[in-house]
Amino acid sequence: MPARPLVAGVDTSTQSCKVVVCDAETGEVLRVGRGSHPDATEVDPRHWWSAWESATSEGLLDGVAAIAVGGQQHGMVLLDDADDVVRPALLWNDTRSAGAAVDLVRELGGPQAWADAVGIVPLAAITAAKLRWVRDHEPAAMARAARCVLPHDWLTGRILAAGGGFTEWTTDAGDASGTGYFDAGTRQYRPELLELAAGRTLGVPRVAGPAEVVGRTRDGLAVAPGTGDNMGAALGLGLQQGDCVVSLGTSGTAFARHDRPTADARGFVQSFADAQDRFLPLVCTLNAARVLTSGASMLGVDLAGLDALAMAADPGAGGLTLVPFLDGERTPNLPTATGSIHGLTRTNATPENLARAVVEGMLLGLASAVDAVREAGCPVERVLLIGGAAASRAVRGIAPDLLGVQVAVPAPGEYVAGGAARQAAWALSGASTAPGWDVAVETTLDPVAPGRGAEVRERYAEVLRTGYPS
């Protein structure tokens, strides 16, 4: 019996490059590789290539028939006429472009004008704002630039070039819809917005179909267009209507599938395309898993110790509220904000309450994000909790009450890389729809009754109304 085809998916994230090799028919993960990225907000893309080479060493891709890349959204990679990198890539979490975002919003006529044009109101994270920052602060670099691609586009093109199969730069609608100059509703670029941002005309990647083969290497490896990390995770999870993903990684995200684009003039909900043929309204926060590591460091414990302390405290942390804006914040748009602790008294000043406030604070930011997704028209009947912090015992214990809905924790896995692999299998098959891969759920958690989640959420909202921004 002939062997079943193998496919590979890549997650080129902020922190690392992860590669999974899967059975194309079942999605079973057969091999995994990993390489590290620098911990920075701007990175020379050559580091991404080194991490890719490390992740795929020792024959990881032997027998693989197709591959796709999922990657961190919004990153700005400027290339010159020879496709050499002009300057280090500015990543989504580089907040220097906050002022540039304000300028862009004003110049087009305000937040509603942007929401109507592309479904996104520029923030520091968005590619358009980064282009404007380079235009204003590094004009020589902008003058050298011939085109702008995204991190996943760059790695896709580099894989093809190394394999002798590069013909053009490509992207997909999902990742392109996070740039600020691509309309998810029409699946078209808005060149006038790109020129507004960059101050000149720049080339952009061709937007490929969701299951298109955009190139083949000399040894026959088919390369699919890839997508953004959140779109990849949605594809990897087989996201269904009624589900909302809450991802707790370097950033926090909440997103759901929708049948139409959205337009939120507040800028909370980004109107993205998904990696198939629909839409992915999404809210992103800057502060997620690293809030827990910072809290553990502050208390002098490891993450398991933080869990134990948090679970020993009562819900509400005795009145302590942590505002988790440790790296500024994207939603709400407070790029220069800092974290703070409110309600501290001599009575509640215990390690247990502080640990509980750390976990609750991180989750409260995401609870607000889930509310915004619901307000955008997506029913939320269940939250799928993924990302590194989803493994926390305290997060699992506290999340259902704060989110107010059933929480399902899928089995640990690389869902961005898995979604990219699923796209590769789709491209390889030539089918009209993505293959159906089962996703195992490790545990399902229901809100406690009567619970105190609503009380804790109201106190957090009151702190934001009266004690922030700073």
Q: Is residue 453 part of a domain?
A: no
| Residue 103, both tokens | 């300028």
Categorize the per-residue pLDDT at 147 as very low, low, confident or very high, splitting at 50, 70 and 90.
very high
Average pLDDT of span 160-175? 98
Q: Is residue 382 part of a domain?
A: no
The per-residue pLDDT for 249 is: 87
Whole-number percent of the chain with pLDDT over 70: 99
The per-residue pLDDT for 468 is: 62
What is the C-alpha to C-alpha distance for residues 312 and 447, in angstroms, rounded to an integer?
18
Report the residue count for the chain.
470
- Among the listed residues 423, 445, 447, 446, the one whose alpha carbon sits nearest the alpha carbon of residue 434: 423
**Is the model's pLDDT at 420 over the cut of 60?**
yes
The per-residue pLDDT for 251 is: 86
Q: Is residue 219 part of a domain?
A: yes
Average pLDDT of span 82-109? 96
The per-residue pLDDT for 113 is: 97
| Residue 75, both tokens | 């990153």
pLDDT tens-digit series, residues 254-263: 999 999 999 9
Q: Is residue 24 part of a domain?
A: yes
DSSP string of 439-469, one letter each residue:
--EEEEEPPPSS-SHHHHHHHHHHHHHHH--
Range of weakest confidence among 75-79, 113-117, 195-199, 284-288: 284-288
The per-residue pLDDT for 226 is: 98
Q: Is residue 77 part of a domain?
A: yes
CATH number at residue 126: 3.30.420.40
Categorize the per-residue pLDDT at 250 as very low, low, confident or very high, splitting at 50, 70 and 90.
confident
The per-residue pLDDT for 2 is: 55
β-bridge partners, 342: 321
Average pLDDT of span 417-435? 96
Contact 284, 125 (CB under 8 A): yes
- The count of structural domains within the chain is 1
**Is the model's pLDDT at 469 over the cut of 60?**
no
What is the C-alpha to C-alpha distance for residues 182 and 173, in angstroms, rounded to an integer?
8
Is residue 335 helix, strand or coil?
coil
Q: Is residue 119 part of a domain?
A: yes
Average pLDDT of span 333-354? 94
Average pLDDT of span 110-137? 96
Angle (CA) 248 249 254, round 5°: 45
Convert 398-423 to b/e letters by CB count within 10 Å (16 or more is b).
bbbbbbbbebbbbeebbbbbbbbbbb
What is the C-alpha to C-alpha distance for residues 4 and 283, in angstroms, rounded to an integer?
38
Average pLDDT of span 229-238? 95
The per-residue pLDDT for 294 is: 97
Average pLDDT, the chain: 95
Q: Is residue 448 part of a domain?
A: no
**Is the model's pLDDT at 207 over the cut of 70?**
yes
Give the active site residue among 172, 229, 264, 401: 229
The per-residue pLDDT for 267 is: 87
**Is the model's pLDDT at 333 over the cut of 90?**
no
Higher pLDDT pick, 331 / 54 = 54
**Is the model's pLDDT at 470 over the cut of 70?**
no
Average pLDDT of span 212-220? 97
Contact 330, 123 (CB under 8 A): yes
**Is the model's pLDDT at 133 over the cut of 60?**
yes
The per-residue pLDDT for 330 is: 84
β-bridge partners, 266: none
What is the C-alpha to C-alpha distance for residues 173 and 23, in angstroms, rounded to an integer?
26
User: Is position 229 annotated as part of the catalytic site?
Assistant: yes
**Is the model's pLDDT at 141 over the cut of 80?**
yes
Q: Is residue 222 part of a domain?
A: yes
The per-residue pLDDT for 192 is: 98
Angle (CA) 377 108 122, round 5°: 55
The per-residue pLDDT for 1 is: 42
The per-residue pLDDT for 331 is: 85
pLDDT tens-digit series, residues 384-403: 999 989 999 999 999 999 99
Range of the domain at 22: 6-238+413-424
**Is the model's pLDDT at 439 over the cut of 70?**
yes
Distances (CA, A) of 162 to 150, 166, 214, 216, 217: 18, 8, 15, 11, 8
